[in-house]
Structure 1
Amino acid sequence: MEVQPAKAKPTSQPPRFSPPLTPCNVPVRRCPVSREEASHRILIMRVGANGDILMGTPLLSALRQAYPTAHLTWLADFKHLEAIDANPYIDELIGWDDRYWKRTLRKLRYPLWLWRALGFRRELRRRGYDIFISFQPEEWPTVLYGVGAATTIGIFDTFRRFNRAARTSPLSRRYRYAYTDSDLPPHRTDQYLLSLRALGLPQPSDKRMQLGYTEQDAAAVSRFLAQNHLPSGARFVVVAPQTTWPTRNWPPERYVEVVDALARQGDRVVVVGNSPRPRPRRKRGAEHDEEFRDVVQEVAAGLQSPPIVAQDALTFRQLAALIDRAALVISGDTGPMHMAAALDTPYVSLFGPTAPEWYAPQAGRGIALAHPVPCGPCDQKFCRNEARDHRCMRLITPSEVLRATDSLLNAEPLLKS
């Protein structure tokens, strides 16, 4: 049964300050005093994507452990805000419309951009942050320079990797502490935790991610499951076949083989994902055909039994509530893998152009499958080997995935902490 897509969000919004939501699935540990009375006022910036934001949440628990009365603020893009807006440690959120700022610059509206950027900066300075931590590329957060923080920390991995820079950008000198490629450990979470070194704090032993959802989200998922004739307590598996990079997608026909095998052994499967975004005119050719494939529908169409498809039907937090009830999650290197680990749901993740030692969750119950290839891990959105055959993903077989799912589904159940 397919569910009607959720309503689209506004396309342009000014920056907005808002309080966090109260999660129903994790205990809350927020600042017990007002922002003005807080021992530290810390602003953290990572606008997206969802998985990257979740990999930054172990830093929040470490900061809260070290500074119980600190006021923690996180700036994220509106479309990724649900990854952090019910976090149990966050005291304030700043919603940011990245598309608006970029569109303003593309249209050469420099005076308007500058006027609004300066106004936003004045508001940040008024709030008196004393620590600013940026996980964005070096040349990205221009609008946030000069927020008035005495301690500024920058983690600059993304700029170096994607722009193939041979040196650090001069803009990194505007940070008191700047960490670049030569300083960075392989895993994204460990990179973010370098911020603790700059603050003179120890590295945490617990690197679990945190993800909250509300009672309203849980109720929406209960209705969704009831509509699809899944009774409360019934075992089901969540399959997320689509990622934002074509190179991270496992072939749809192999997902079909796995889902059909699970159905034969009596497991219900919920296929989740979003529709491809509208295709710009400038993106033509076979390479971009892969980028805009509707993998979710390809998987659903190939299944022998009618599937439960939740495409565009659940918000991010509702998906979290669904995953929290699932017996298992199967996905590529994408958000649902991190969500499962954060919610202590077993997962099987499929890695190709990226390496598990970079992005696989450092805590949680899961199995990361990967095969070494001469051209990888390339960390590229499009396959660049001579055959363009995505061999790193195709080397993962359905039988491997089914063995991993069987080992997790048949493991002794553990209590979620």
Structure 2
Amino acid sequence: MRRILVIRLSAIGDIVMASPLVHALRRRYPEAHIAWLVQPETRALLADHPELDEVILWPHNEWRQLIREKRFLALWRRIREFRKAMRARGFDLAIDLQGLFKSGLLAWLSGAKERVGLGSREGSQRFMTRVMPKGGRPELIGSEYRFLADMLGLPTADFRMRVGIGAEAARSADKLRKAHVADRPYAVICPFTTRPQKHWFNDHWAALVPRLRMELGLEVIMLGGPGDREAAWAIAERADVIDLVGDTSLQEAAAVIRGARLLVGVDTGLTHMGPAFDVPTVALFGSTCPYLETGRENTTVIYHDLPCAPCRRNPVCDGRFDCMTGITPEEVLQRVAQVMPHGEEST
């Protein structure tokens, strides 16, 4: 294989969990040109990956806007331009990790002679030359990607997540840290995601934050995206937290996480970066349970296996979200003690 294309368009957590495939491909094909096709909003996760040769952007928003405006001729021209640019790269292999119609179509547009789909559905299997099932152990983080690597004959002995951080983002994050915590050790909390049933309640965050400071000597930084600002204010009003929500780029947030002594978060992309950087992590899952094992001794998952869990996108509890309400600050602190038993002396 001389030229390989990986397709995983979104989202943050999925791309982080799929990232070990790049290292596995690089070890198997050290001289290959390896590219990743991604949507613009998640490009930053891959832009500085040391083992990727190229990050290609799919102009998702532009195509969607043309569809909304019913400018189908212009859309067809954009698709033809995209296909021409992709086929000029001469890919030998395209690996579709998303398994949706849109990702399958993009794999076909790439012109790759061999197109492998992971768990292809929505008709995307028609674009593939080979379809692999989603195998592995569901309780292990990224198990479907490890299983795919095994099926493709790739080495998986060091199958760990990797997030690239550029020098500029690292410098910006360092300035933020110095401005807010100086040289004091700090924890990161990641309370926000796209679905309310995945959130931990504000009362719990307000109770946890001061105990992290008093019992472990950790300042507490809260991270999230621009769309999370209003929800962040609700927590910041009740807890003495350093609120950086919406004030960092994705890479800057990753750099802040990399320097933390502890991360506590819900099922969101930033939380999955904790084990990627080998930061002691306590992950709080309820309506979803993406994994229970990470291969890291300093990462633990709190998940109450209720009869209704995981409900994913279809909660049946009338908004009580018992799976998350039942996780108490005391339980979180007990798990924190397991992953970083020496408090601020932990590295």
Same fold by TM-score greater than 0.5: yes
Q: What are the equivalent positions in structure 2 for 1:166-315 lying under 5 Å apart?
A: 168-180=121-133, 186=138, 189-197=142-150, 199=152, 201-202=153-154, 204-228=156-180, 230-232=181-183, 234-265=184-215, 266-276=217-227, 294-303=230-239, 305=240, 307-315=241-249
> Match for residue 116 of structure 1?
78
Is the partner of 2:227 in helix, strand or coil?
A: coil
Note if contact 2:93-2:115 (Cα within 8 Å) is conserved in structure 1: yes
> Match for residue 334 of structure 2?
403
Determine which of 149, 155, 160 is the counterpart of 2:118. 155
Query: How far, CA to CA, are the matches of 1:258 and 1:271 in structure 2?
Result: 12
Backbone CA RMSD of aligned residues: 2.3
Structure 1 residue ranges, 4+ long, deviating more than 6 angstroms after superposition: 412-415
Amino acid at match of 2:199: N
Amino acid at match of 2:254: A
Determine which of 27, 34, 44 is the counterpart of 1:82. 44
Q: What are the equivalent positions in structure 2 for 1:313-392 lying under 5 Å apart?
A: 313-357=247-291, 361-363=294-296, 365-380=298-313, 384-392=315-323
**Gaps (5+ residues) in structure 1?**
1-38, 158-167, 278-292
Matched residues, percent identical?
28
Structure 1 residues 224, 127: closer, same or farther in 2, change over 3 A? same
Note if contact 1:74-1:92 (Cα within 8 Å) is conserved in structure 2: yes
Structure 1 residues 209, 386: closer, same or farther in 2, change over 3 A? closer
**Gaps (5+ residues) in structure 2?**
none
> Match for residue 4 of structure 1?
none
Query: How far, CA to CA, are the matches of 1:349 and 1:49 in structure 2?
Result: 18
* Cα deviation, residue 411, structure 1: 4.3
Q: Which has the higher helix share?
A: 2
Note if contact 1:254-1:397 (Cα within 8 Å) is conserved in structure 2: yes
* Cα deviation, residue 275, structure 1: 3.4
Amino acid at match of 2:92: D
Note if contact 2:198-2:285 (Cα within 8 Å) is conserved in structure 1: yes
Query: How far, CA to CA, are the matches of 1:169 and 1:222 in structure 2?
Result: 44
When normalised by structure 1's length, the TM-score is 0.77
Query: How far, CA to CA, are the matches of 1:101 and 1:324 in structure 2?
Result: 35
Say how many residue pairs are matched.
343
1:145 and 2:108 matched = yes
* Cα deviation, residue 226, structure 1: 2.4
Is the partner of 1:353 in helix, strand or coil?
A: coil
Q: What CA deviation, in whole Å up to 9, does each residue of 1:232-274 have, x standing for no partner? A: 3x21111111112211110011011000211223321111112
